[in-house]
Structure 1
Amino acid sequence: MTGSMWRSVQGLIGRLFPASYRWPAQDIRLDHRLLHLVGSIHMGTRDMQPLPARLLRQLQKADALIVEADITQGGSPFDDIDPREPLERRLTADDRSRFEALCGELHLSPTMLDTLPAWQIALMLQAQQAQRLGLRPDYGIDYQLLQAAKQLNKPVIELEAAEVQIALLKSLPDDGMALLQDTLTHWHTNARLLQMMVSWWLDAPPRQPRIALPSTFSSALNDTLIARRNKEWRDRLRALPAGRYVVAVGALHLYGEENLPTLLQQ
C-alpha cells in the first residue's frame, strides 16, 4: 500500500471512528508524531477548573506540551509602547460614540486609553468583556496546562512566544485600527462567541471542525490572525521529532474555514 493510500485509509478510519472527548480536542497522527490538539480558552470560568482527569493523563503520557506562548514567563508585553495621538483624531464619530458608551458600561476612563495603540485598546476592551462574563486568566485552559506540565516536569514548546504575538499586533496596518473597529462593531457577537467556547468545555464540543462561527473579524484580519498562523503552526508541528504531544491553541483555530486539524491532514 502506498503512503498516500495509507493516509487515505487512516483519514477514513478517523472519520468513521473519531475519538470522543468532552472537551474540544482532536487526535492527529503525522507519521511517528501523535498530536492531541486541544481547543484552549485563554480565560476561563471557575467551573473549568480542575482540568479533566483524562486530559491530564494525555499530558502525563506526552513528551511535551505545545502552546502558542508560555504565558507564565516574562513580564508585561506592553512595556515601552510610545503614546499615540488622541483617539478623537483616529476614530470616526460613530466609532467614538460606541467607544465612549462601552467605556461607560465597563467603568473605564476613556482618557486612560486615549493614547494607546488601537490594537492594545481592542485587547483591553476584550479582556474587560471576558471578565464581565465571569472569565479569569487563572482558569484559562492553556494556563492550567502550563501549570500541570511544570508539576509533571514536562518540556514546554512555544509555537510563537509572546514577543512574536506582540510583534504581529504591532505589524497590523494602521496600528491595528481594524481590530478596534471590529471589536466595537461586533461587541455583542464576540460575547456570544465567548459563551459558545465556554459551552464547548462545560457542555459539549462540536463534533465537526467545519462549523459556522459568528463573524467577529474582517476577512483581512481573519487571514492575519487565524488562517495565516494556522499554516505556520502546521509547518511547525509537521517538523516535530517523533513522539506524543499535547498541543493547546485557541479554540477558534480548531474550527471554521482553514482550521488547523484540516490543514494538518491535507
Structure 2
Amino acid sequence: MRRSFWHRLQQRVATLFPASYSWPAMDIRLGDRRLHLAGSIHMGTRDMQPLPAGLLRQLHKADALVVEADITQGGSPFTGVEEHPPLATRLAPEVLQQLTALCDELSLSLSLFDRLPFWQIALMLQAQQAQRLGLRPQYGIDYQLLQAAKAANKQIIELEGPDTQIALLKSLPQDGLALLLDTLAHWHTNARLLQTMISWWLDAPPARQPVALPTTFSSELNDTLMRNRNQHWRELLHALPHGRYVVAVGALHLYGEDNLPGLLKSS
C-alpha cells in the first residue's frame, strides 16, 4: 500500500514537472508514440563532442532517429544553382554598400557572391559567422546523432530532406532577398542568438517557458521558415508508427511563438 502511494505520487510529480535535461530537450507523448524532442545546433563547438551520455541512452532506447534532413548523405546542396546577374544590378546601392562592408570585415571577396541568389549569400554569410564563433559542422548535434544512429543501426527518418530544404529556399520571393536583408540587419543579434544556443548545450537550457528570443526574421520569413514548418512537422510526427523516437530539430523550433512542442501538446 505504501509503495503504491509513493508510486502514484511520483507519477503525479512527473506529470506536473516533466523531466528536465542538461541539454535542450523535452519528452512528449503522442498516444502510443514517445518522443524525446531535442533542440539541435547544426554547427557546434568542440566542447559539444561527445554528446551527453543521457542523450545517447535515449537514442539507444529509440526505434528511430528523426531529423530535419540526413546531412551525412550526398554532396553540396548548392550544386546546380542558377547563375544570376551581378549584384550591382540587383541590389539597392545602400544594401550593396552594407554587404561590401561586411565582406571587408570578414575578409571575403564580394566577387564570391556576385552571381549567387540572395538566399545562398545569406546562408554563406551565416556559416561564416558561425565559424568565427568556433562552430564546425562535424560538432553539430544532428550530425553527431546521425553518426551515432548509423553506428547503432537505427532507422533514420527525415522530416524534410536536403532537396526539400533547398526547394523551400528557392521558392522564397525575389530569390530570398528578405533573408539576405534580415541577415545584414540582424547580424550582431544573430551572433548573440548563436551564443545563447551554445550555452543551452554547454551550460543549461532554458528552465521556463515561454522563452523570449530576439526577432531575426521578418514576419513573412518567420511564417515560411519557422511557423509553417513546425505545423507540417507536427502532422508528420503524429503520423509516426507507435514506438520511441529521438527527434532532433533546430533549437529555435523548440522555443518562441508557435513552437513545435506547443503545437504537439495542443493537437
TM class by shorter chain equals over 0.9
Q: Which residue of 2 aligns with 1:3?
A: none
Tell me if structure 2 keeps the 8 A contact 1:186–1:216. yes
Deviation of residue 208 (structure 1)?
2.9
The one-letter amino acid of 2:141's match is I
Tell me if structure 2 keeps the 8 A contact 1:193–1:214. yes
Gaps of 5+ in 1: 1-11
Deviation of residue 112 (structure 1)?
1.3
Q: Which residue of 2 aligns with 1:114?
A: 114
The one-letter amino acid of 2:56's match is L
Query: What SS does the aligned partner of 1:111 have?
Result: helix
1:223 aligns with 2:230: no
Q: Which residue of 1 aligns with 2:77?
A: 77
Tell me if structure 2 keeps the 8 A contact 1:64–1:157. yes
Deviation of residue 211 (structure 1)?
1.0
Give the whole-Å Cα distance in 2 for the aligned partners of 1:36 and 1:65: 10
Deviation of residue 94 (structure 1)?
2.0
Q: Which residue of 2 aligns with 1:50?
A: 50
Deviation of residue 77 (structure 1)?
1.0
1:254 aligns with 2:254: yes
Deviation of residue 82 (structure 1)?
1.3
Query: What SS does the aligned partner of 2:51 have?
Result: coil
Tell me if structure 2 keeps the 8 A contact 1:209–1:259. no
Q: Which residue of 2 aligns with 1:6?
A: none
Query: What SS does the aligned partner of 2:80 have?
Result: coil
For each residue in 1:130-153, what CA deviation from the matched residue of structure 2 results, as whole angstroms up to 9, or x when unmatched? 000000000000000000001111
Query: What SS does the aligned partner of 1:51 have?
Result: coil
Give the whole-Å Cα distance in 2 for the aligned partners of 1:105 and 1:43: 22
Deviation of residue 209 (structure 1)?
4.0
The one-letter amino acid of 2:50's match is P
Q: Which residue of 2 aligns with 1:31?
A: 31
Give the whole-Å Cα distance in 1 for the aligned partners of 2:208 and 2:242: 27
Give the whole-Å Cα distance in 1 for the aligned partners of 2:189 and 2:35: 31
Q: Which residue of 1 aligns with 2:178?
A: 178
Deviation of residue 109 (structure 1)?
0.8
Deviation of residue 15 (structure 1)?
6.1
The RMSD of aligned alpha carbons is 1.1
TM-aligned CA distance change 1:99 to 1:212, over 3 Å? same
Give the whole-Å Cα distance in 1 for the aligned partners of 2:53 and 2:263: 29
Deviation of residue 75 (structure 1)?
1.3
Deviation of residue 93 (structure 1)?
2.0
1:163 aligns with 2:166: no
Q: Which residue of 2 aligns with 1:199?
A: 199
Query: What SS does the aligned partner of 1:225 have?
Result: helix
Q: Which residue of 2 aligns with 1:9?
A: none
Gaps of 5+ in 2: 1-11
1:17 aligns with 2:25: no
Tell me if structure 2 keeps the 8 A contact 1:70–1:161. yes
Deviation of residue 98 (structure 1)?
1.4
The one-letter amino acid of 1:99's match is L
TM-score by length of 1: 0.94
Deviation of residue 214 (structure 1)?
0.8
The one-letter amino acid of 1:170's match is K
Q: Which residue of 2 aligns with 1:7?
A: none
Tell me if structure 2 keeps the 8 A contact 1:65–1:154. yes
Give the whole-Å Cα distance in 2 for the aligned partners of 1:250 and 1:147: 17
Give the whole-Å Cα distance in 2 for the aligned partners of 1:177 and 1:64: 37
1:126 aligns with 2:126: yes
The one-letter amino acid of 2:219's match is S
Tell me if structure 2 keeps the 8 A contact 1:190–1:216. yes
Equivalent pairs: percent with the same residue? Answer: 71
Deviation of residue 17 (structure 1)?
1.6
Q: How does 1:77-156 map to 2 (within 5 A)?
A: 77-156=77-156
TM-score by length of 2: 0.94
Deviation of residue 86 (structure 1)?
1.1
Q: How many residues get paired?
A: 255
Deviates more, 1:201-210 or 1:31-40: 201-210
Give the whole-Å Cα distance in 2 for the aligned partners of 1:178 and 1:78: 19
Tell me if structure 2 keeps the 8 A contact 1:209–1:254. no
